[in-house]
Amino acid sequence: MTNNTRFKLSLIVIALGLGTASLQANAFGTADDLDKTTYTDAFKALDTDGNGTLSKSEVKHEKIFAKHFAAADKNHDGSLDQQEYSDFRTAAEQKNVKRVASDSWITSKVKGELLKDDGLKSFKISVETHQGMVLLSGFVASEDQIKLAEKIATETKGVKSVKNSLVLKKD
């Protein structure tokens, strides 16, 4: 591996590592760490009948609660009080932040592995990850490079599947 490639790889890993670390720091907060004013305002806006609780019909337009109302209703009384609303929303947001951090980490690992291979012009290959599924896109010079990039991505720890959308560059 050339010194130039090692330097580029180091820069990418450092940048992505710092971004991932900041995402993870936010992911491990508690409900008390979050802006309760935002949750209070959102709760009050949804509480259309003003009774201090949210019914299933009051939260039907919020995707997270429309699908998981029963899970959020910890005391099983058929409504959400402000604490239940805040706790469930916080947990869902933390889960999403963890997923984004994990996806960022997978993207950096795949890109790093692609950079290690001198036969690939990996700066021409775009890597995106969503829920462990990696999308490779861009232009490469040969069919062998398409297969090699897919093999590298597939063998990277944490990757669940790979969609290879690499295209041969026309001369």
Would you give per-residue pLDDT tens digits along the chain (171 residues)? 565 555 555 556 565 555 555 555 554 444 455 456 678 888 899 989 999 999 999 998 888 888 899 999 999 999 999 999 989 998 988 888 898 999 999 999 999 999 888 777 667 899 999 999 999 999 988 899 999 999 999 999 999 999 999 999 886
Alpha-carbon Rg for the chain in angstroms: 22
pLDDT for position 31: 44
CB-side neighbour CA atoms (13 Å) of 57: 2
Q: What pTM does this model have?
A: 0.62
Domain ranges of the chain: 3-168
Please say whether the structural domain 3-168 has been given the CATH code 3.40.50.10490. no
